[in-house]
Chains A and B, each alone.
Chain A
Amino acid sequence: MLEVNNSPFNEKQVQQLNELLATLTTQQKIWLTGFLSASVASGTVVEVPKATQGEAAPIATNEPVSKNITILYGSQTGNAQKLAENFGEQLKNVGFDVTVQSMSDFKTNGLKKLQYLLVIASTHGEGEPPDNAISFHSFLHGKRAPKLEHVKFAVLSLGDSSYEYFCQTGKDFDAQLEKLGAERIVERVDCDLDYAEPAEKWFEAVKEKLQGDSSVQLSHQEATATVLQETVTYNRKNPFSAEIIEKINLNAEGSNKETIHLELSLENSGITFEPGDSLAIIPINNENLVHSLISALKFDATTNVVIDGESITLEEALTKVLEITLLTKPLMRKLADYTENKEFHKLISDEESVKAYIFGRDLLDVVETFGPFKWDAQSFVNLLRKMPARQYSISSSLSAYPEEVHVTVGVVRYEVDERERLGVCSTYIADQLEVGDKVQVYIQQNPNFRLPNDETPIIMIGPGTGVAPFRSFIQEREERGATGENWLFFGDQHFVTDFLYQKEWLDYLKSGVLTKMDVAFSRDQPEKVYVQHKMLKRSAELYEWLERGAVVYVCGDKGMAKDVEATLLQIIEKEGNKTEEEAKEYIEKLRSEKRYQRDVY
């Protein structure tokens, strides 16, 4: 930005120049630089040429760009939202009139005025829309959805190919917009966990369409310019190496569970986060598993393979770079190209049996059961996905523990075919890492899981590791001296061994920071008791809190979150004297007011 005191211009000039400069594309700026220096050098005032090239430089026409673009995102953990905001910013920079909104903030009567609609949506649950897309999704699929023949659209979906319904929500929007008569300007792109590149390509295609073909080059430069502007942040490609400063198994002896409380130092990283955010941890594969796999494959561990243009040993690739545990249907289909094994082909020809097979199994099973395959090390690694980072809800607050981040990790171990299976990231943390070791991390923002203002009461429902973000919430509220009441529901298997952070909660209750707490220990009595049963017991009071404006948070297991939602509906029906329909509307209203927020996995 130009200012009076950093430039030779007066206030009015600074204002005019700033306004103009903000609207210029890189090419226009370059042109202008050349133009001005030429005119100064020659000492003559050169007449400004009439706006050229039509769409290539829309601003030069001096008319407001008529294309207005709406970017709607449906996002749970913030990936789609970040992309939407980033793309929106880039389109604004080239002069478009852009609105970026969460689907839940978008008023559906605005559909009639839409011109260009870009949808960026992730998929959650089992092929379900993220929370902030639920109502828009059902509106578009319902009877009240208007004809959209005036709309031009493009859809970008985010997902994870390990799920049965890969990118389902994006697919839904894409098909439904077409069905309502809208015109697709760019083919939908379905992104897997490594979404950055395909998303960027999709965006380039969209921008190209919006600007017209002659501006391809220009938009490319714009894109790089914007990327350069971004401050250095830590991400999947550039993680921060954080030192472990504390590691505790929170479960007492005799428990079926193993839950690791991990404290990491963020010293000198400049990393910040808010309560509700997650920490992404990049794990490495278990050494023994890698060795078993390499020997089952009859490869040599020291063979070099090329990944992303870099040559590394097969062992390193399988340990640090690639995913070798999770089987997905797409992967199974790719593997089939390398074998004529009839059993294998029979297996993958049936959707149900392949689904049953891949559950809980890994590449080693496939290689041992159906090998040998006709591949070399390079063609083998070409089939594999990059190792996805694992997310963990942050369980500390920066104001309570500056320059630290805590997470609460439930360790995954199970047995299939008499072989013990190890959750990649959780057992990496539990078995391989000690205090003093370093681990690769970055922050995954979660704009849809946030504390309200300090006066608002909150109800937190978080059994098991679902309690993690609420430890952060309570720490934060204590530090801020927030006056809003706090009610926590927690549950696990056994009181004696599994009451995560018990002493801290008891202290918070004593000091009054925590107003109420209810606990459910499922296996301490003959009948199973879960958090939703405790909610029902407190039905009247819970509804009274809702009526007083309380925000409800649910975190943890997907299945639990479903039961909790059903119970909330039941409570609203009963205590509010409502029909099922009305109770559902009540919940939708809570959702749209951001008073019902979930973080489920």
Chain B
Amino acid sequence: MTKKVVLPPQEGKPSDVEEMKAASNYLRGTLEQSMQDELTSGIPDLDNRLMKFHGSYLQDDRDQRLERERKKLEPAYQFMVRLRMPAGVATSKQWLKLDELADKYGNGSIKLTTRQTIQFHGILKWNMKKHMQEINSVLLDTIAACGDVNRNVMCNANPYQSNLHREVSDIASQISQHLLPRTNAYYEIWLDHEKVVDTQEEQEPIYGALYLPRKFKIGIAVPPANDVDVFSQDIGLIAVVEKDELIGFNVAIGGGMGMTHGDTKTYPQLARVIGFVAKEKIVDVCEKIMTVQRD
């Protein structure tokens, strides 16, 4: 029998970010209005925090800050947009689109990130919706690419290396898909989907209204390679292969744990292996581990 551990109540009140999340009505906030405000190319702070859950946030060009201030202009605001690309896979058709978008709305650059996805910079507010729509037109999206949710799920870079690698890559996509926020907000705000009439009905069965306290990272390694740096993840999965067949994963947990610089009560943990899970159950296990962090 395992003994149930009751955690002591948290000190202090929930952070203002939590309040913001609670008030955001499942990641909507006033984003829609803010995106339509033609007088500023920025958005209010609170909306910008929500924006992260949509895979984007507002930046400004620091080099121009002082000069623009003097010219009585607001900072040169622009959005960074990060894709959700489980296992870092894009088809050639998708890639060509991304390449086009980098010039069309962005500043001409595509950045490859350490979490196997790509991000665009320099997108103006007025172009954000078109940009998001064109990304979605090739069946890619940016949901949960930033923000306090499960982030891009990493694994081996080349699914064509072997059948095994392909299967692992597919599992990465399944985990990513399963751990997506369920809110309709993304589709309403960016893709003009019809509004959910009563958001009471809309629920986040996994996340709840407050989502996670911090970002959450999952990576899968197929030995002998450890290209995803499996012990640096919140959940590290190490593929277990028998007779060329994937049977399951050794599961390691640890991670950044919401480390805050300068606060010694927070510290990162190198992941530790806690056991083996069969491949059929891996999606569910990832969910359950993540909800521990949520709570």
Contact = CB atoms under 8 A, between A and B. Distances in A.
A406 to B, nearest CB: 12
Interface in A516-562: 517-519, 524-525
Contacts of A252: 64, 67-68, 71, 73, 76
A509 B74 CA distance: 14
Nearest to B76: A496
Contact of B71 (A249, A495, A518): A249
A185 to B, nearest CB: 55
Contact of A505 (B39, B70, B76, B124): B39
Interface centre among B40, B68, B71, B74 (most CB of A within 10 A): B71
B4 interface: no
B39 A503 contact: no
Nearest to B70: A248
A496 B124 contact: yes
Contacts of B74: 502-503, 506
B198 interface: no
Interface centre among B38, B69, B76 (most CB of A within 10 A): B38
Interface string B6-43: 00000000000000000000000000000000111100
Interface in A485-500: 495-496, 499-500
Nearest to B125: A495
Contacts of B93: none
Contacts, number: 46
A501 B72 contact: yes
Contacts of B40: 506
A251 B41 contact: no
Given A252-B64, A509-B39, A503 B73 contact: yes
Q: Chain B interface: which size bin?
A: 10 to 19
B106 to A, nearest CB: 15
Interface string B69-84: 1111110100000000
A501 B126 CA distance: 20
A250 B126 contact: no
B67 A502 contact: no
Given A506-B39, A506-B40, A509-B39, A250 B76 contact: no
A517 B39 contact: yes
Interface residues of A, number: 23
Contacts of B41: 495-496
A504 interface: yes
A389 B127 CA distance: 44
Contacts of B38: 495, 518-519
Contact of B39 (A248, A250, A519): A519
B277 to A, nearest CB: 51
B41 to A, nearest CB: 7
A504 B70 CA distance: 12
A75 B69 CA distance: 40
Contacts of A261: 72
Contacts of B126: 495, 524-525
Contacts of B124: 496
A502 B70 contact: no
Interface centre among A251, A252, A496 (most CB of B within 10 A): A496
A146 to B, nearest CB: 53
A248 B76 contact: no
Contacts of A250: 71-73
Interface centre among A499, A501, A517 (most CB of B within 10 A): A499
A503 B69 CA distance: 8
Nearest to B69: A503
A202 to B, nearest CB: 46
A525 B38 CA distance: 13
A269 B41 CA distance: 42
Contacts of B64: 252-253
Interface in B209-245: none
Nearest to A525: B126
Nearest to A259: B71
A504 B40 CA distance: 12
Interface string B188-222: 00000000000000000000000000000000000
A502 B76 contact: no
Nearest to A497: B73
Contacts of B72: 248, 250, 261, 500-504
A579 B136 CA distance: 49
B126 to A, nearest CB: 7
A505 B38 CA distance: 13
A518 B74 CA distance: 17
B89 to A, nearest CB: 34
A334 to B, nearest CB: 45
Interface in B39-80: 39-41, 64, 67-74, 76
Nearest to A490: B39
Contacts of B71: 248-252
Given A252-B64, A519-B38, A499 B70 contact: no
Interface string B112-125: 00000000000010
B197 to A, nearest CB: 28
A289 to B, nearest CB: 29
A261 B124 CA distance: 27
Interface centre among B39, B41, B74 (most CB of A within 10 A): B39
A262 to B, nearest CB: 13
Interface centre among A495, A500, A519 (most CB of B within 10 A): A495
Contacts of A517: 39
A506 B69 CA distance: 13
Contacts of A248: 70-72
B206 to A, nearest CB: 39
Nearest to B40: A506
Interface centre among B72, B74, B126 (most CB of A within 10 A): B72
B158 to A, nearest CB: 41
B64 to A, nearest CB: 7
A570 B118 CA distance: 50
B227 to A, nearest CB: 40
A297 to B, nearest CB: 42
Contacts of A249: 71
A70 B64 CA distance: 61
Interface string A132-161: 000000000000000000000000000000
A408 B41 CA distance: 24
A95 B69 CA distance: 61
Contacts of A502: 39, 72-74
A424 B286 CA distance: 72
A519 B74 CA distance: 15
Contacts of B68: 252
A248 B76 CA distance: 18
Interface string B90-128: 000000000000000000000000000000000010100
A53 B64 CA distance: 80
Nearest to A501: B72
Nearest to A507: B72
Interface string B173-201: 00000000000000000000000000000
A434 B30 CA distance: 45
Nearest to A251: B71
B63 to A, nearest CB: 10
Given A252-B67, A496-B124, 13 more contacts: A248-B71, A249-B71, A250-B71, A250-B72, A253-B67, A496-B41, A496-B76, A499-B73, A502-B39, A502-B72, A502-B73, A502-B74, A506-B39
24 contacts: A248-B70, A248-B71, A249-B71, A250-B71, A251-B71, A252-B64, A252-B67, A252-B73, A252-B76, A253-B64, A253-B67, A495-B38, A496-B41, A501-B72, A502-B72, A503-B69, A503-B72, A503-B74, A505-B39, A506-B39, A506-B74, A519-B39, A524-B126, A525-B126
Interface of B: 38-41, 64, 67-74, 76, 124, 126
**What are the 4 closest A-B residue pairs judged by CB atoms, nearest first?**
A503-B72, A502-B73, A501-B72, A250-B71
